[in-house]
Structure 1
Amino acid sequence: MKKILLVCAAGMSTSLLVNKMKDAAKDQGVELEIFALPVSECDSVSDQVDVVLLGPQVRYQKAQVDSIIGGRVPVDVIDMRDYGMMNGKAVLEKALSLMNAG
């Protein structure tokens, strides 16, 4: 099963987005594991995920996450508008397109 990691600061708002993304995946009939972790914990799962998306509030830590992931999978920042609107469908589509491109 493909896994999407959302990297966040504390995880409160990101957990809401995870739920919205899970709902969108279910609506599309796509089976995925989607979860969120703070940057400090993403190295513990870096070899188990297929794409990493950073919340806009931690975009300044992209270089750190890139070095943890080591180019193994795509790493990108979630669009600020999609994050603010909790647009799980749009964020899911971005993750899927990154996985398909990589």
Structure 2
Amino acid sequence: MDLPRLHVLLVCNLGASTGIMVAKMREIAQNSKALANTDVKIDARPAGELRDYVTEYDVVLIGPQIKHLYDNLKKICDQYEKPIAIISTEDYGMVNGGNILKQALRLVLGNRS
């Protein structure tokens, strides 16, 4: 895969509830042959701090528990041309870091020009 970097920001209510998801996604990325030559960074932050951190990331994923904030968060991401999406309730609930990492990859690759 020709992707020099993949910096993913998971946004939730306080930034704490996605900690397990971040750990799982980091583990999957570290063990991925496809991402072996990619600078991968995955973090979680509170939604209220998005404007402070959005420029450091390539894609923003929102926890399903705050999907009601999507429109406001999308406006911020659009200002910086960052793709944004809501994590599915199923993947979030099952801590399916693989699917969420794939979602981030699809968004970043689809956003490249």
TM-score under structure 2 length normalisation: 0.85
Partner of 1:33: 41
| 4+ long deviations beyond 4 Å | none
Equivalent AA in structure 2 for residue 8 of structure 1: C
Counterpart check, 1:88 vs 2:97: yes
Counterpart check, 1:9 vs 2:13: yes
Q: How many residues align?
A: 102
1:46 pairs, out of 54, 65, 87, with: 54
Partner of 1:78: 87
Same amino acid, percent of matched pairs: 34
Instruction: Name the Cα RMSD after superposition.
Output: 1.2
Consecutive unaligned residues of structure 2, counting only runs of 5 or more, are: none
TM-score under structure 1 length normalisation: 0.93
Q: Deviations over 1:47-88 (max 9, x none)?
A: 221000000001110111111112501100001000000011
